[in-house]
Amino acid sequence: MTTIASRLQAVKARISEAARAAGRPPGEITLVAVSKTFPPRAIAEACAAGQTDFGENYAQEGIEKIAALFELLRQRNASPERPLFWHYIGPIQSNKTRAIAEHFDWVHGIDRTKIAERLSASRSDDKPPLQVCIQVNVSGEASKSGVAPDTVLGLAQTIMGLPRLRLRGLMAIPEPTPDPALQRSRFRMLREIRDELLRRGVALDTLSMGMSDDLEAAIAEGATMVRVGRAIFGERGASAG
């Protein structure tokens, strides 16, 4: 078993254990392997081990790797048994919206009406709607992307009116902390915002929260997607998960 395959197996075991501890079925939690800065061959190893969802933080890097991975798998005659899904995670520049809308299946970080409108306008009619999450700044950091909790409803209503987007849920990247209680409180805030939106008639089924160091706390508070990079692919210059 390769190192990436063994790390992937270990992360899946953590997810299953955390889900059981929370009284939840492990199957309702999707693992997104955050592959930023890692080469296509590393992603191919994860594919060979059964991973299907991958996250990228930079548009051009991600687009190049999507094409390179497709070619690599073709050369190896190793097409994955199930479709691959590509998730764009991170800040979105206006001039990158078309590229993101054309190449990715999910976008996790919408925090402005303008970006949502541009993504919708750029998504071609021959593709399924782009699956999107609103990023919420649950820790109140001035340097952190995301909308304030009290403005989520307005943005959600705007996105629901856009024809080529499907609003799936909420996403958060709280400040790093080793304190499990603080971890859970941040994730609980996102879940409570989701619950309030549900009461107001906004249909959501996704909570994208939790990374390598805090996925257990996120799962305990209801995460349906966890975004894990370092624990699968190893150390990188700038951690994405």
Q: In angstroms, how far is CA 95 from the centroid of its own chain?
A: 21
Threshold 0.75, pTM exceeds = yes
- Note the pLDDT of residue 240: 41
**11-20 burial: b if 16+ Cβ within 10 Å, else e:** bbebbeebbe
- Note the pLDDT of residue 241: 47
State yes or no: pLDDT of 96 exceeds 50: yes
Interatomic CA distance for residues 109 and 193, integer angstroms: 16
Contacts of 240 (CB under 8 A, 6+ apart): 34, 36, 37, 55, 57, 89, 90, 227, 229, 230
Give the model confidence (pLDDT) of 39-71 as tens digits: 999 999 999 999 999 999 999 999 999 999 988
Please name the helix (run of DSSP H) or strand (run of DSSP E) that holds residue 216, with its range, or none. Answer: helix 215-220
What token pair was written down for 72?
A: 């690599």
Angle between helices 180-199 and 152-160 (to 10 degrees): 50
- Note the pLDDT of residue 74: 84
Q: Which CATH class is domain 3-233?
A: alpha beta
Domain ranges of the chain: 3-233
Residues paired with 226 in a beta bridge: 31
Q: E-assigned strands of 12-138?
A: 30-34, 53-56, 85-88, 106-110, 130-135
CA distances from 98 to 76, 130, 132, 164 (A): 31, 12, 15, 13
* pLDDT level of residue 143 (50, 70, 90 thresholds): low
Give the model confidence (pLDDT) of 159-204 as tens digits: 999 999 999 999 999 988 899 899 999 999 999 999 999 999 999 9
Mean pLDDT, all residues of the chain: 93
Judge whether 164 and 130 are in contact, CB under 8 Å: yes
